[in-house]
Amino acid sequence: MTGSARRTAIAMALALLAAAVPLTGAAAAPGQSAPAAPAVGLDLSKAEAQWIDRDTVAWNTGAEPTARGGERAPGSTELAYARRGGITVDGADLTGARHRIRLAPVPGGLTEAQRVKFPHLKTYAAFRVDPRDRDRIRTALTGQLVAVQRGSDGALKAATGVQTQGILDDLYAPAARKTPLGPGFARGKASLAVWAPTAQDVRLDIGGRTVPMRRDGDSGVWSASGPRSWTGKPYRYVVKVWAPSVQKVVTNKVTDPYATALTTDSARSLLVDLDDPALAPKGWRTLQKPPATPLRDAQIQELHIRDFSVADRTAEHPGEYLAFTDRTSDGMRHLRKLARSGTSYVHLLPAFDIGTVPERKSGQATPDCDLGSHAPDSDEQQACVGEAAAEDAYNWGYDPLHYTVPEGSYASDPEGPRRTVEFRKMVQGLNDAGLRTVMDVVYNHTVASGQADKSVLDRIVPGYYQRLLADGSVATSTCCANTAPENAMMGRLVVDSVVTWARKYKVDGFRFDLMGHHPKANILAVRKALDALTVKKDGVDGKKIVLYGEGWNFGEIADDARFEQATQRNMAGTGVATFSDRARDAVRGGGPFDEDPGVQGFASGLYTDPNTSKANGTPAEQKARLLRYQDLIKVGLTGNLADYSFTDSSGRRVTGADVDYNGAPAGYAAAPGDALAYADAHDNETLYDALAFKLPRGTPAADRARMQVLASATATLSQGPALYQAGSDLLRSKSLDRNSYDSGDWFNALHWDCRAGNGFGRGLPPAADNKPKWPYAKPLLADPALAPGCADIRGAAAAYRDLLRLRATAPEFSLATGERVQKELSFPLSGTPGEKPGVITMRLGSLVVVFNATPREQSQDVEALKGTAYALHPTQARGADPVVKSAAYAKRSGTFRVPARTVAVFRRG
């Protein structure tokens, strides 16, 4: 992520695909295949040829095929190279090319195996490296490379740079995969190793002196060792390498991609042994974790480290890792309440080293104005926050700089390894509160690439770690410089980094940002590596570590264009969950790119409590859309199972996969646990803010709170795991900000004390991502009736905890297989005359659950249950919500009566 808006960039890109494709949603965008009309020319700044293995160069030259599929192009094709660079096009010819590797056209193009490995190159012409020139390959890869095509008269027809990811893997990956990288400590010595196969020279700058490094010819790894006294010393690699982005040989002083510690603001890596007892907090070695919760039962709180405590006046370490050790703070008291109710994991937004926050408090800007003095609908707050945003202490953190070092701005001192100790104390604090820890990891892109100051990977092996498009430019579909985990050593970095967090920091789970940009094989390699960790050998049980991620399908890799992706559909049955946007959109209504944010859904009053937005259509259109939404929610309640069979709202017998979600199957899971349910997360408006836009203006705050609980219940009471944005149970608002990644503490901070409000009415949200919605937002923010009071906030939080307790104690919500779900779960009124818009009735084993999203009490007559005794579940009957206690059941008629805006759970017997 860059400070200039990862989320906005993704939003803009996906908005172009279709209004129905939500940011945190996932319809497919066409993959970028080989261009129909190849751009063959004489531009050496591009790299349109690809050297895919030691024998083959693929190049979309545009030559017509012969009957045998080969090139009908008399003349010659070759690779020109120059170790020092200097190859240029001068007029109509090439100059500076003193060395050549001859190429011969391959009839029929790439082999079938090559097309399978490189599907995006399947239409390219293939050229075979002359066996007589193979001894030149390794030297050629260390300098400027140009693919050259000449006519039969010797005239230059085409020339372009060459992408080398494929051949680097072919030549070096088999040995490099097995070679230790980064810091090492053994037999009284310290060592460092870096993979830099194309470098002409690498030296180690450590502790103020320069040490030569040795190159291993098989692996391309450079290494150096020294005395144990190197420990604690700052270091960088000095890499002399050809850099295509600037078309010259450069000498880069760059930090270690495998760094485990850093100096302030990531200026230097630090040679640190994470096994050093001095870095272990008291009790670290014998840390007792809460019992592991299987992924299919996980209830997850998504939490930003700074948001958690920066506004908590009871915290001793506001905004820091150590805030999670403040046992008596309001924030930690709240987390313990959630843990006792059934929350099992805290998911931390990115906590690795990020590139957009000054790490020293003295270097962090703060808004230079009295933010609290302005009106709740003023644009002054956002303007003042925006002036400080580039240099303040806030960012979500989706802008990775070093993947395996804790972020320094959350530490009491960013200089040195204190951040390691304090991260570990944070894990201890959460574990002691009864919660396991999930890290949000972002391996799909880097904060920078090329020769930029904050580029690390690309300044060591230029053009390898980043994913390149057909012309050699870096892909940016994730918003920033995409990485290429399909390449062996980037894939290895992902695995090694995750394993380090698991072993050395005892992290209990990982959430992969934009996981669909990873190969499925890469995520499964992570799973395999974690499964191999044992308590005896590694201090952790890797099989109990949970994995889930964003399985969205878009960009240059969409529809498996380059590899089988880790998307929703592809990850089904693997044990790695993906976020499901299906029920989320149906519950909230519309999508994040709606011009009019008043588009309603199941929990925001569509048809049953209409607002004034014309975007909702006629009453008939609203009713039809609401019933379709209810089908999406039903599929969500099953755990998004593809094969689950039920009667939909139209009376048809369908499977989950038959239900349409913006042109994709609503059901895609193979078993409960494949899909992760949620109603809100850090992306897009908070649930409270979405409901503020969508519910009729006059809806009282108390009713808004009830709709919040009902909306969350569609996730809580579904099969499979569920995630909630921290504070959602407290009706958290970000003053209608849909993209608060850089909106500072003013818009983001959590308020654990209800007397501080819920964050609503703190001014118009930042203009960059929200200004088109200001005309809708301004009257809402100015209306004091929309700001909830303590009774509303406390009531919602208590009702939510009741539902957590109910889910945690009722085995019916933890069915292990699709077959069990099919047998135990049904929707008895679906597709019958008794199905009412705005009401869903689910029968689940000994339970009946009724979701009444309407503003009126509703009765549900279930003919098949006549004569069977049911009563309100004891957890709700003895619970905090006085309204749900009036829910009733008539045994004689099989009628369930549920109050307005209420979810009620009944138990048989």
- Count CA atoms closer than 13 A to 302's CA, side-chain side: 26
Q: SS3 for 360-377, per residue?
A: CHHHCCCCCCCHHHCCCC
User: What residue has token string 């195996």?
Assistant: 113
Q: How many Å from the N-terminal Cα to the C-terminal Cα in the chain?
A: 54
Residue 819 annotated among the catalytic residues of the structure: no
What residue type is assigned to position 238 of the chain?
V
Catalytic residue among 377, 399, 458, 513: 513
652-676 burial, b if ≥16 CB within 10 A, otherwise e? eebbbbbbebbebbbbbbbbbbbbb
Q: Count CB-CB contacts under 10 A for residue 333.
A: 14
**Distances in Å between the alpha carbon of 394 and those of 390, 410, 684?**
9, 10, 18
Closest by CA position to 680, among listed 627, 631, 722, 628: 722
Name the helix (H) or strand (E) containing 163. Answer: strand 156-163
| Strand pairing report for 49-53 and 156-163 | parallel
What SS3 state is found at 189? strand
Question: Residue 65's beta-bridge partner residues?
Answer: 71
How many Å apart are CA 371 and CA 766, to the nearest integer? Answer: 13
Residue 182 token pair: 């980064």
Catalytic residue among 297, 326, 392, 550: 550
| Strand pairing report for 234-243 and 269-270 | antiparallel
Closest by CA position to 529, among listed 494, 505, 563: 494
How many Å apart are CA 395 and CA 306, to the nearest integer? Answer: 9
Q: What is the DSSP letter of 514?
A: T
**Interior angle at CA 410, CA 408 and CA 412, nearest 5:** 85
Residue 19 token pair: 């209004």
- 211 burial via Cβ count (<10 Å: 0-12, 13-18, 19+): middle
| Strand pairing report for 436-441 and 345-348 | parallel
Name the helix (H) or strand (E) containing 193. Answer: strand 189-195
Closest by CA position to 681, among listed 29, 22, 14: 22
User: Is the CB of residue 655 less than 8 Å from the CB of residue 559?
Assistant: no
348-381 burial, b if ≥16 CB within 10 A, otherwise e? bbbbbbbbbbbbeeeebeebeeebeebebbbbeb
Residue 433 token pair: 């509160």
Residue 399 annotated among the catalytic residues of the structure: no
**Distances in Å between the alpha carbon of 172 and those of 168, 195, 244, 685, 775?**
6, 10, 20, 46, 58
How many Å apart are CA 98 and CA 92, to the nearest integer? Answer: 17
How many Å apart are CA 511 and CA 198, to the nearest integer? Answer: 33
Q: Count CB-CB contacts under 10 A for residue 757.
A: 18
What residue type is assigned to position 192 of the chain?
L
Residues 629/632/638/639 CA torsion (nearest 10 deg) = -120
- Provide the annotated active-site residues: 513, 550
